[in-house]
Amino acid sequence: MKEEEKRENNVPVPEPDFVKGSEMDVLEEVIARSEKRLETIKKIKQVSLSITNEDDWVIINNIPYLQASGAEKIARLFGISWSNFSYSVEHLNDGHLLVICEGDFFMETRKEKLCIQAIGVRSSKDAFFSRGGKLSAKDVDIPSLYKASYTNCLANGIKRILGLRNLTIEDLKAAGLDIGKIKKITYGKEEKKEEKRNEVWDRITELGYSKEEVKKIQQEKKFKSLNELYEYLKSQKEQQNAGG
């Protein structure tokens, strides 16, 4: 029986081998590329951690944070460039300020040019600036607040472009760092709240949304808390990643 006759009589016709083969090739290539990417990210993480020392880290509520000094070392090693910084200021209801710094980060390898945007956020309410809530907004040193949001933006940009997210104490231990020598901070109730807020901002930044995108989504969805906003953005990102 000829192929046409088989189709007419609803007899299953096997797909030509070359079609199957090419699909398999594409799939394998995608898998190989993903594996290689994961391997590269792992390598970058290992190397990044290995050039830092205990002074470059701070542990807040059991989560390690890379300080600006460590981020700078890593940026120098990998050759990360930056430009186009700008600030925006939000005036909060209680008279405090939120200073947001935004900048572009680049890393041009032989194979590709990576480019991302990152933000750094610092509030005059932060325990560090308000001396644990003792100072009102007008008494906070505003240039220091700008400087902190700028250095926060640098640290976030460097971490994001290299994929240094969600680091754990175990990662630091594995890199040979002595956890006992790392500064640990525990905050009081009010300070904790502010620090938590900063943490959530940092996590939002790590997701890779620009300031405008975050603003737009918040205006549309009107989330009651920063945490709710973060959870939404995170699920959106996960969906995007699963889809593409």
Partner 1 sequence: MNNWRKRIILKGGTMIIEKILENKEKKRRITPVNSNRASELGHPCLRYLVYLRTKWSEKALPSISQQLIFDEGKNQEKMVIMDLMEAGFEIIEQQRTMYWDKFNLVGHIDGKVIVDGKGIPFEVKSLNPYIWETISDLKSMLNHKRWWVRKYPYQLLIYLLLANEPEGLYILKNKSSGELKEIWVRLEDHLELAEEVLKKCEEIEKCIKNQILPDRINDEEVCNFCPFAHICLPELTRPAISLEENPEILEMLEERELLKEKVERFNELDEQIKNFFKKADGDRFLLGQFLIMKKKIKRNAYTVPAQEIEMINIKKLKGGEK
Closest approach of partner 1 to the CB of residue 49, in Å: 6
Closest approach of Cβ 50 to partner 1, in Å? 4
* 146 in contact with partner 1 (CB under 8 A): yes
Count Cβ atoms below 10 Å from residue 234 Cβ, excluding itself: 14
Among residues 117, 207, 121, the alpha carbon closest in space to that of 165 is found at 207
Q: Residues 22, 34, 40, 136: which binds partner 1 (CB under 8 A)?
A: 40
Q: Which of residues 46-65 bind partner 1 (CB under 8 A)?
A: 47, 49-55
Who contacts 230 (Cβ-Cβ below 8 Å, separation ≥6)?
A: 200, 203, 204, 207
d(CA 121, CA 109): 29
- 147 counts as binding partner 1 under rule CB under 8 A: yes
Identify residues 173-192 at the interface with partner 1 (CB under 8 A): 174-178, 183, 185
Q: How far is the CB of 151 from partner 1 (least distance, A)?
A: 8
User: Is 43 among the residues that bind partner 1 (CB under 8 A)?
Assistant: yes
Answer for which of 72, 215, 217, 227 binds partner 1 (CB under 8 A) is: 72
Per CB under 8 A, the segment of 9-17, 141-149, 191-199, 229-237 that binds partner 1 is 141-149
Closest CB 33 distance from partner 1, rounded Å: 14
Query: Of 84 and 241, which CB lies nearer to partner 1 in the complex structure?
Result: 84
**Cβ closer to partner 1: 51 or 207?**
51
Binding mask 73-102 for partner 1 (x = CB under 8 A): --xxxxxxxxxxxx--------------x-
Q: How near is the Cβ of 77 to partner 1 at its closest, in Å?
A: 6
d(CA 199, CA 194): 9
| 138 near partner 1 (CB under 8 A) | no
Residue position matching structure tokens 């990360």:
80
Which residues sit at the interface with partner 1, rule CB under 8 A?
40, 43-44, 47, 49-55, 72, 75-86, 101, 103, 107-110, 141, 143-144, 146-147, 149-151, 174-178, 183, 185
